[in-house]
């Protein structure tokens, strides 16, 4: 067995949510959706309440520190940096 074949086999895991069969994933996800009683899901029942909460959250930040809302270029650069950091930047070609 070559080193490439060994790497391919070890890259597949039988652990974790992604490796479960789709039916088991749905069963687990369903439990998460059922964990909050319907009457307590206020944002889904009242979009105005959700909008107001978001507005309050934005207003709680000092106006002098809202640099992204004032400087679109700064926000754009920060988003680009975050994307490169989380995705590892450009991908290298995989050689078979």
pLDDT in tens, 66-95: 777 778 888 888 888 888 776 665 555 566
Rounded average pLDDT over 44-56: 83
Is the pTM for the entire model greater than 0.75? no
Residue appearing with tokens 């490169």: 84
Higher pLDDT pick, 1 / 11:
11
Calpha distance 50→56 (Å, rounded): 10
Residue 74 lies in a domain: yes
| Count of CB atoms situated within 10 Å of the CB of 3 | 7
Provide the domain limits for residue 71. 21-85
Residue 50 lies in a domain: yes
First-to-last alpha carbon distance for the chain, in angstroms, is 14
Question: Do residues 44 and 54 touch, judged by C-beta distance below 8 A?
Answer: no
Residue 45 lies in a domain: yes
**Confidence at residue 93, expressed as pLDDT on a 0 to 100 scale:** 56
Q: Where are the alpha helices (DSSP H) in 1-96?
A: 3-11, 22-34, 42-45, 47-59, 67-70, 72-87
- Split into its structural domains, the chain has a count of 1
**Confidence at residue 2, expressed as pLDDT on a 0 to 100 scale:** 53
Phi, psi of 18, deg, nearest 5? -65, -25
């Amino acid at each position: 067995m070559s080193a490439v074949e060994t790497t391919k086999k070890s890259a597949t895991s039988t652990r974790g949510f992604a490796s479960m069969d789709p039916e088991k994933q749905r069963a687990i996800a369903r439990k998460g959706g059922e964990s909050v009683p319907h009457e307590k899901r206020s944002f889904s029942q009242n979009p105005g309440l959700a909008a107001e909460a978001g507005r309050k959250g934005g207003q709680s930040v000092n106006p002098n520190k809202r640099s992204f809302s004032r400087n679109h270029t700064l926000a754009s650069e920060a988003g680009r940096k975050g994307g490169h950091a989380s995705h590892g930047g450009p991908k290298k070609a995989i050689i078979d």
